[in-house]
Amino acid sequence: MPRVSSINERHLWCRTLCLLLVGFICYALPWTVFAALPTTGDNQTVLRIQGSNTIGAALGPALVKGLMEEQGLLDIRIEASDADNERRVSGKTAQGQRVFVEIAAHGSSTGFAALKNASADLAAASRPIKDSELVDLEALGDLKDPDAEQVIAIDGLAIILHPHNPLTRLDTEQLARLFSGEVKTWEELGGIGGAIHLYARDDRSGTYDTFKELVLARRGKHLSAAAKRFESSEQLSDAISRDPQGIGFIGLPYVRQAKAVAIVDGGSQAMLPLNSLIATEDYPLSRRLYFYLPPDHNPWATALVRFAQSARGQAIVALNGFIAQTVQAMSVAAAPQMPEGYQNIARQAQRLTVNFRFEEGSATLDNKARQDLARVVDFLKQHDKLDKRVILVGFGDAKNDPARAALLSKLRAMAVRRELARNGVVPREIRGFGAQMPVAANTADEGRIKNRRVEVWVY
Ordered by start, the domain boundaries in the chain are: 1-30, 44-154+289-319, 156-279, 327-458
Confidence at residue 40, expressed as pLDDT on a 0 to 100 scale: 67
pLDDT higher than threshold 50 for residue 29: no
pLDDT higher than threshold 90 for residue 319: yes
Domain 156-279 has CATH 1.10.8.50: no
326 in Cβ contact with 317 (< 8 Å): no
The architecture in CATH of the region 44-154+289-319 reads 3-Layer(aba) Sandwich (3.40)
Give the DSSP letter string of 112-134.
Answer: HHHHHTTS-SEEEESSPPPHHHH
User: Quick one: what percent of the chain has pLDDT higher than 90?
Assistant: 76
112 in Cβ contact with 132 (< 8 Å): no
> Does residue 22 or residue 453 have the better pLDDT?
453
- How crowded is the C-beta side of 368, counted as CA atoms within 13 Å? 23
Range name among 37-41, 155-159, 252-256 with the lowest pLDDT average? 37-41
Pairing of strands 246-251, 197-201: parallel
Whether 44-154+289-319 and 156-279 share one fold: the answer is yes
pLDDT, tens digit, 9 for 90 and up, residues 321-368: 899 999 999 999 999 989 999 999 999 999 999 999 988 767 789 999
327-458 fold:
60s Ribosomal Protein L30; Chain: A; (3.30.1330)
The residue among 268, 256, 212 whose CA lies nearest residue 232 is: 256
Distance between start and end Cα atoms, the chain: 57
Q: How large is the average pLDDT for residues 224-235?
A: 96
